[in-house]
């Protein structure tokens, strides 16, 4: 019997059912792709063409990258991209090192630290206490207000710790016999074997920081903005872009610039996700089951 044969309990699909599934799938694809195509086309269209078509362009007749050049020349978007990417990398590094320390048996203070971390997961602080703490520590209007309160995510930490514990102890012992220290073991043994978990946790952090807007609006008053705060300024507010952000003076963001910022904020995650999707099941389940 062929390995592709259908199980006995599964009914043979009917043509009408197959056609309905195909129509439903096509409808979902259109609902997802058409709006994104409109956004991309509008960002590539000239301002005159956008006005002539009532604000939206499905297919630009004379594509231009002027909106993207204006955005990148201003510096605020590239700076915001750097902030979001840098915070993601910092959180991933801190989570990996802490998870590795907590995964090793006999670490001094390991259990109390783990219990303290899990306590914050079960009883998270409220918004007002968090704001008052950031204010009293003098971190308002600084990058530390965005980084320190959410530097290590407890769920990501538990997943990585469980994954590191699932690595055979013989590998650690073999590295120790070869004279490797903790950093060498982490870099040469643990990380190469943990690509699935690192990919999942890294994507979790990237999406979280990429979509982070609330804390930036709460803590920051200057131009230390992450990407989503810049996106909100362009798309939602549509104005208020001063000489510290784009050009000189206060300008109203045209439709092409708004859509170009939206594309810049969306495309990086779309490009990364397909390559990391295959690691999701392995990375999350292995760490969670072991934990």
Give the span between the Cα atoms of 254 and 142, in whole angstroms.
30
Give the span between the Cα atoms of 254 and 49, in whole angstroms.
12
Number of helices and strands (H, E) in the chain?
16, 0
236 Cβ contact partners less than 8 Å away, ≥ 6 residues apart: none
Which residue shows structure tokens 């630290």? 113
80 Cβ contact partners less than 8 Å away, ≥ 6 residues apart: 225, 226, 227, 229, 230
pLDDT in tens, 169-206: 888 888 888 887 888 888 888 888 888 788 888 888 88
CB 163 within 8 A of CB 197: yes
Give the span between the Cα atoms of 129 and 126, in whole angstroms.
6
Give the span between the Cα atoms of 58 and 60, in whole angstroms.
7
Domains of the chain: 23-64 (no CATH), 69-290 (1.10.3720.10)
Model pLDDT, residue 181: 81
Model pLDDT, residue 289: 47
Which residue shows structure tokens 């003076």? 249
Read off the DSSP letter of residue 251.
Answer: B
Give the span between the Cα atoms of 94 and 91, in whole angstroms.
5
Model pLDDT, residue 249: 36
Place 161 in a pLDDT band, splitting at 50, 70 and 90.
confident
């Amino acid at each position: 019997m062929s390995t592709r044969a259908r199980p006995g309990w599964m009914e043979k699909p009917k043509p009408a059912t197959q056609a309905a599934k195909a129509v439903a799938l096509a409808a979902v694809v259109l609902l997802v792709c058409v709006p994104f195509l409109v956004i991309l086309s509008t960002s590539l269209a000239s301002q005159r063409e956008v006005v002539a078509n009532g604000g939206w362009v499905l297919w630009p007749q004379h594509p231009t990258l002027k909106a993207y050049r204006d955005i990148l020349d201003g510096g605020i978007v590239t700076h915001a991209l750097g902030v979001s990417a840098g915070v993601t990398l910092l959180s991933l590094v801190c989570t990996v090192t802490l998870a590795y320390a907590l995964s090793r048996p006999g670490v001094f203070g390991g259990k109390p630290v783990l219990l303290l971390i899990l306590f914050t997961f079960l009883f998270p602080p409220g918004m007002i206490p968090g704001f008052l703490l950031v204010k009293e520590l003098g971190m308002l209007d600084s990058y530390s207000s965005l980084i320190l309160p959410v530097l290590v995510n407890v769920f990501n930490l538990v997943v990585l710790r469980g994954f590191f514990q699932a690595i055979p102890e013989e590998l650690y012992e073999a590295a120790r016999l070869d004279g490797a220290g903790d950093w060498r073991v982490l870099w040469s043994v643990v990380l190469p074997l943990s690509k699935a978990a690192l990919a999942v946790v890294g994507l979790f952090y990237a999406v979280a920081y990429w979509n982070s807007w609330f804390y930036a609006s709460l803590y920051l008053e200057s131009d230390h903005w992450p990407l989503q705060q810049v996106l909100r300024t362009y798309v939602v507010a549509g104005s208020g872009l001063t000489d510290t952000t784009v050009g000189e003076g206060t300008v109203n963001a045209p439709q092409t610039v708004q859509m170009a910022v939206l594309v810049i904020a969306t495309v990086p995650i779309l490009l990364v996700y397909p390559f990391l999707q295959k690691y999701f099941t392995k990375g999350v389940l292995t760490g969670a089951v072991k934990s």
